């Protein structure tokens, strides 16, 4: 598959056999550390490739190069930048199948979902180009406040922040890197990407794609290496002007603690709750809950991570969810099994620990609780109580707890007690009631009769509490990656607008 991309792209400069290089100043290089990170397929342990374990000196170099190329990138017009993004989108679509295949191998995502992640990113690039072209400044008279007049005029336009450091998670290695790169570039910034180590190969292709699309060398640089080794250095580097991070709340909080006064965009973990009321369409709700909880084996920040059903419908709902869960395919991501491997055996151990804790404390196993290597069968737990870890912790695996509640008030209370605040769901045909509850939930987004999800990508996407800082989404990301620049014109006696008005 790599050969297929190389054939279409007419280039094999990214690698020596399966050893991938990192991308700096428009060239592909090996780390002088001599060290590499081996990426194994989480389904069968086969080696997918190795990436460079770059050093601190190399981290310094990519950032310095990004800084040096800010000016040349800013000499281009918005339209020229938009054209590059659009060309990149076209290439992504052309390469979607082989790129998706590589991603499937490195993170165990079902092949169809991996390919659609590449196509989603292409659409995001196109939409970001369009949104960037819509950006306009504004002119404001000073006469809203006493003591000021129309003689004082502010002109506001947006300028880039500088070098944006983009760090993404393993579960969307291409899309959650692209959703940072595109707005950063469109806003006129240069970029340093640090991909997740497990999932580092597919984002490296942004180098090739954007270069082919006409991006000048040094505007985008991609450094691979362990976050634990080079992460703090990158975040704290004085030439980095902003950090855009998606990953766990633990790493996000750590980044916030070391970043100083740099602007941050943090998209972190979640524990999204589905409140199911008596007036819900249960068949539809069960379908949505199963797909929301188990696609990519629950390894999504927005996965349905707990269900809070009302007493009148709980038994029927759990039965429906059980039937649909037992129908899920389990196995090889290449064959598009819904439930594939978790990213590592360490993660499986963690998920198993949550299940064991719940069972020891008296929850009821509805189905699942079986493991084979990194495959974990989708597991439903009933009668979960707030004393159990699974009520609060994010499994990032195929486990769904049902916490039966007595009232909507109790559901709101349990929802809000979570340290997370990404999204919430309400299932009911009583839209007035749903709207009332939605206003009480302490989350970034509430979905009514739908699963929690990030897309479509021009919607605002944000988390409260430990789920994040700042707002993502095409126009919101462009805004977050730029700042207003204000020039105030103080008119002299001769040019006073108030005087001119007298002649009208």
Residue 453 partner contact from ligand NAP, ligand G3H, none using kind-dependent CB cut-offs of 5 to 8 Å: ligand G3H
Smallest distance, ligand NAP to C-beta of residue 165, A: 8
Return the percent helix, strand and coil in the chain, to nearest 5.
40, 20, 35
Q: Please say which residue, 176 or 208, places its beta carbon nearer to ligand G3H.
A: 176
**The one among 185, 235, 288, 321 contacting ligand NAP by CB under 6 A:** 235
CB 279 within 8 A of CB 309: no
What span, in angstroms and rounded, lies between the C-alpha atoms of 158 and 137?
A: 7
CB 92 within 8 A of CB 118: yes
143: exposed, middle or buried (Cβ count in 10 Å: 0-12, 13-18, 19+):
middle
SS3 letters across 191-233: EEEECCCCCCHHHHHHHHHHHHCCCCCCCEEECCCCHHHHHHH
Smallest distance, ligand G3H to C-beta of residue 255, A: 17
Smallest distance, ligand NAP to C-beta of residue 254, A: 6
Work out the end-to-end distance of the chain between its first and last CA atoms, rounded to an integer number of angstroms: 71
Neighbours of 255 (CB within 10 A): 25
Which residues belong to the active site?
Answer: 267, 301
Parallel/antiparallel/unpaired status of strands 47-52 and 273-276: unpaired
Smallest distance, ligand NAP to C-beta of residue 17, A: 22
Contacts with ligand G3H, residue ranges (CB under 6 A): 171-172, 300-302, 453-455
Smallest distance, ligand NAP to C-beta of residue 394, A: 6
- Asked if the bond preceding 397 is cis, omega within 30° of 0, the reply is no
Cα angle 485, 490, 493; round to 5: 165
Residue range at the interface with ligand NAP (CB under 6 A); choices 28-36, 210-218, 245-253, 484-492: 245-253
Chain position whose Cβ is nearest to ligand G3H: 301
**The one among 247, 368, 398, 401 contacting ligand NAP by CB under 6 A:** 247
Residue 254 partner contact from ligand NAP, ligand G3H, none using kind-dependent CB cut-offs of 5 to 8 Å: ligand NAP
466 binds ligand NAP (CB under 6 A): no
What span, in angstroms and rounded, lies between the C-alpha atoms of 200 and 139?
A: 44
What span, in angstroms and rounded, lies between the C-alpha atoms of 58 and 53?
A: 10
Q: How far is CA 221 from the centre of its chain?
A: 19
Q: How far is CA 137 from the centre of its chain?
A: 28
Smallest distance, ligand NAP to C-beta of residue 199, A: 8
Q: Please say which residue, 21 or 454, places its beta carbon nearer to ligand G3H.
A: 454
470 binds ligand NAP (CB under 6 A): no
Residue 294 partner contact from ligand G3H, ligand NAP, none using kind-dependent CB cut-offs of 5 to 8 Å: none
CB 307 within 8 A of CB 411: no
Residue 347 partner contact from ligand G3H, ligand NAP, none using kind-dependent CB cut-offs of 5 to 8 Å: none
What span, in angstroms and rounded, lies between the C-alpha atoms of 9 and 94?
A: 10
269 binds ligand NAP (CB under 6 A): yes
477 binds ligand NAP (CB under 6 A): no
Q: Please say which residue, 49 or 199, places its beta carbon nearer to ligand G3H.
A: 199
Q: Please say which residue, 193 or 208, places its beta carbon nearer to ligand G3H.
A: 193
**The one among 248, 291, 352, 464 contacting ligand NAP by CB under 6 A:** 248
Near ligand NAP in 339-398, by CB under 6 A: 394, 396
Residues 6+ apart with CB under 8 A from 224: 20, 22, 37, 51, 52, 53, 54, 194, 195, 197, 200, 204
What span, in angstroms and rounded, lies between the C-alpha atoms of 39 and 415?
A: 37
Smallest distance, ligand G3H to C-beta of residue 454, A: 4
Residue range at the interface with ligand NAP (CB under 6 A); choices 14-22, 101-109, 155-163, 242-250: 242-250
117 binds ligand NAP (CB under 6 A): no
251 binds ligand NAP (CB under 6 A): yes
Smallest distance, ligand NAP to C-beta of residue 262, A: 12
Residue carrying the six token digits 């060239």 = 27
197 binds ligand NAP (CB under 6 A): yes
Residue 197 partner contact from ligand G3H, ligand NAP, none using kind-dependent CB cut-offs of 5 to 8 Å: ligand NAP
Q: Applying CB under 6 A, which residues contact ligand NAP?
A: 167-172, 176, 194, 196-197, 226-228, 231-232, 235, 246-248, 251, 254-255, 267-270, 301, 394, 396, 422, 463, 468
């Amino acid at each position: 598959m790599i050969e297929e991309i190389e054939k279409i792209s007419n280039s094999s400069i990214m690698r020596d056999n399966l050893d991938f290089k990192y991308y700096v100043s428009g060239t592909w290089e090996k780390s002088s550390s001599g060290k590499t990170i081996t990426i194994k397929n989480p389904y069968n342990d086969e080696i997918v490739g190795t990436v460079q374990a770059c050093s601190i000196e190399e981290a310094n170099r990519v950032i310095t190069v990004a800084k040096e190329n800010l000016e040349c990138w800013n000499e281009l017009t918005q339209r020229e930048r938009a054209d590059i993004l659009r060309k990149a989108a076209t290439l992504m679509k052309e390469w979607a199948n082989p790129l998706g295949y590589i991603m499937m191998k490195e993170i165990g995502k079902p092949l169809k979902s991996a390919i659609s992640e590449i196509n989603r990113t292409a659409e995001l690039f196109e939409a970001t180009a369009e949104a960037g072209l819509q950006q306009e400044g504004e002119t404001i008279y000073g006469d809203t406040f006493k003591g000021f007049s129309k003689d004082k005029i502010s002109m506001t336009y947006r300028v880039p922040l500088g070098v944006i450091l983009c760090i993404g998670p393993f579960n969307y290695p291409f899309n959650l890197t692209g959703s940072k790169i595109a707005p950063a570039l469109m806003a006129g910034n240069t970029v340093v990407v640090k991909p997740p180590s497990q999932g580092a190969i597919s984002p490296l292709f942004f180098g090739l794609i954007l270069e082919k699309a006409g991006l000048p060398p040094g505007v985008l640089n991609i450094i691979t290496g362990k976050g634990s080794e080079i992460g703090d250095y990158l975040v704290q580097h004085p030439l980095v002007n902003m950090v855009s991070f998606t990953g766990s709340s633990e790493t996000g909080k750590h980044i916030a603690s070391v970043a100083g006064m740099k602007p941050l965009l943090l998209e972190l973990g979640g524990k999204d709750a589905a409140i199911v009321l008596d007036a819900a369409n249960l068949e539809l709700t069960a379908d949505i809950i199963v797909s929301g909880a188990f696609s990519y084996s629950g390894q999504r920040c927005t996965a349905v991570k707990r269900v809070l059903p009302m007493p009148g419908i709980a038994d029927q709902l759990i039965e429906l969810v059980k039937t649909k869960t037992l129908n899920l395919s389990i196995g090889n991501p290449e064959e598009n099994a819904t439930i594939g491997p978790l990213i590592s055996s360490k993660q499986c151990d963690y998920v198993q620990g949550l299940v064991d804790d719940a069972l020891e404390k008296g929850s009821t196993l509805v189905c699942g609780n079986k493991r084979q290597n990194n495959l974990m069968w989708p597991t439903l737990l009933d009668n979960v109580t707030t004393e159990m870890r699974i009520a609060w912790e994010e499994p990032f695996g195929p486990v769904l707890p049902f916490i039966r509640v007595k009232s909507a008030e109790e559901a709101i209370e349990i929802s809000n007690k979570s340290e997370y605040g990404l999204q919430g769901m309400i299932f009911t045909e009583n839209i007035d009631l749903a709207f009332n509850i939605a206003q009480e939930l302490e989350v970034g987004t509430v979905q009514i009769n739908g699963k929690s999800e990030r897309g479509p990508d021009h919607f605002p996407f944000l988390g409260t509490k430990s789920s994040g800082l700042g707002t993502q989404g095409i126009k919101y990301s462009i805004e977050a990656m730029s700042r207003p620049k204000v020039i105030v014109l103080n008119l002299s006696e001769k040019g006073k607008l108030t005087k001119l008005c007298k002649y009208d």
